[in-house]
Structure 1
Amino acid sequence: MPTNVLVAYGTTNGSTAEIAETIAEVLRKDGLTARARPARSVPTAAAYDAVVVGGGLYAGRWHKDARRFVRYHRKALAERPLWLFSSGPLDALAYARDIPPVRDVHKVMVRLEVREHVTFGGCLREGAHGWIARMILRGGQGGDFRDFDQIRAWAARIGHELTG
């Protein structure tokens, strides 16, 4: 039974990190050792029994740190249970229906045996980094569209699958 789980993430403004921390917290409550870490700071995925990788969506692309992480660690990821998540839509669309993975994520799903991918709503707050983020906020499109009940439920399914 896998017990040591990595939740690696790529984020620019921190909202994807908050999702990753929530996932790790739920997994710990299920009796697993789970750690959320920025994808760029993980030296090896081989030290973990299972992996969850998440990335924020920016202009239809998965965060560069998440993309680089799966590319660099692809051999280790192919040998362990793997789940993916994206965060990004700045509206209620993420809980209204399943959103298909963006191209970057779809490629990973084809190359590796990904158990599941889900897209959660995103969050963009005042003070966000980046020109595009500031333009979105000026246009009144910011806000927090994450559904933490949905995030916790998804993490619980992963935990049950790993401990089941």
Structure 2
Amino acid sequence: MAEILVVYATKTGSTREIAEAIAARIRSAAHEVTVLDAADVGSVEPYKAVVLGSALYAARWRPEAVKFLKRNAPALARKPVWLFHSGPLGSDLSAQKAPSKVRELASRIGADQPTTFGGRLTPETAVGFFAKKMAQGSMAGDYRDWDAIELWANNIAEQLVAAR
């Protein structure tokens, strides 16, 4: 069994790709890592630490990510947990406040508030009428900052090594 669980909730795959990049960086620090969709996680008990990321749409986390936090809150409160969300588009990628329920759950489990990463919206990946219309306009593009994602994941890896 892997020691670190990286969990994601995504609509178009962008957040999954961020989760996979985070997992790869943590693996490079000699940790065993499992990457799973939030809907596919049975229990977090076997893991020493958890990273959870959700797509952020209209200031909301994906429902499966919120359900994951609620369902696993008691166990997560006993582990190191890092949270992120992705979704802001455009040139102003300032930190986005998590939904109130996520902020409450993060506080309950002792995790910092989620780190914000830019999202991706392209005509090829857009799902739904509104997203498809946005993907045809000036908001379309890939706003993920892979250097920032790697730096954040590197910080997690360093904290995990220090905790050994």
TM-score by length of structure 2 reads 0.91
Q: CA deviation at 1:159?
A: 0.6
1:142 equivalent in alignment to 2:153: no
Contact 1:19-1:151 within 8 A present in 2 as well: yes
Opposite residue 8 of structure 2, the aligned amino acid is Y
The one of 102, 115, 120 aligned to 1:118: 115
CA–CA separation in structure 2 for the residues paired with 1:51 and 1:72: 14
% identity of equivalent residues? 38
In structure 2, runs of 5+ residues without a counterpart are none
RMSD of aligned alpha carbons: 1.5
Paired positions, count:
160
* Stretch of structure 1 that moved more, 40-49 or 100-109: 100-109
Alignment match, 1:73: 72
1:16 is matched with which residue? 15
Q: Is the 8 A contact 1:7 1:35 kept in 2?
A: yes
Residues 74-94 of structure 1, C-alpha deviation per residue, up to 9 Å, x if partnerless?
111111000100001012322
Q: Which amino acid aligns with 1:36?
A: V
**Is it true that 1:25 corresponds to 2:40 in the alignment?**
no
Report which stretch shifted further, 6-15 or 62-71: 62-71
Q: CA 1:142 to 1:104, structure 2 compared with 1: closer, same or farther past 3 Å?
A: farther
**AA of the residue aligned to 1:53:** L
CA offsets, 1:56-98, max 9 Å, x none? 001110111111110111111111000100001012322xx44
2:161 pairs with 1:163 = yes
1:115 Cα deviation from its structure 2 partner: 4.1
Mind listing any 5+ residue stretches in structure 1 that lack a counterpart? none
Segments ≥4 residues shifted beyond 6 Å:
none
| Partner-residue secondary structure (3-state), 1:74 | helix
Counterpart contact for 1:101–1:119, Cα < 8 Å: no
C-alpha distance after superposition, 1:31-75 (max 9, x if no partner): 111121100001111121100000000111011111111011111
The C-alpha deviation readout for 1:98-144, integer Å capped at 9, x for no partner, is: 44333243122221100452000001121321222112113331110
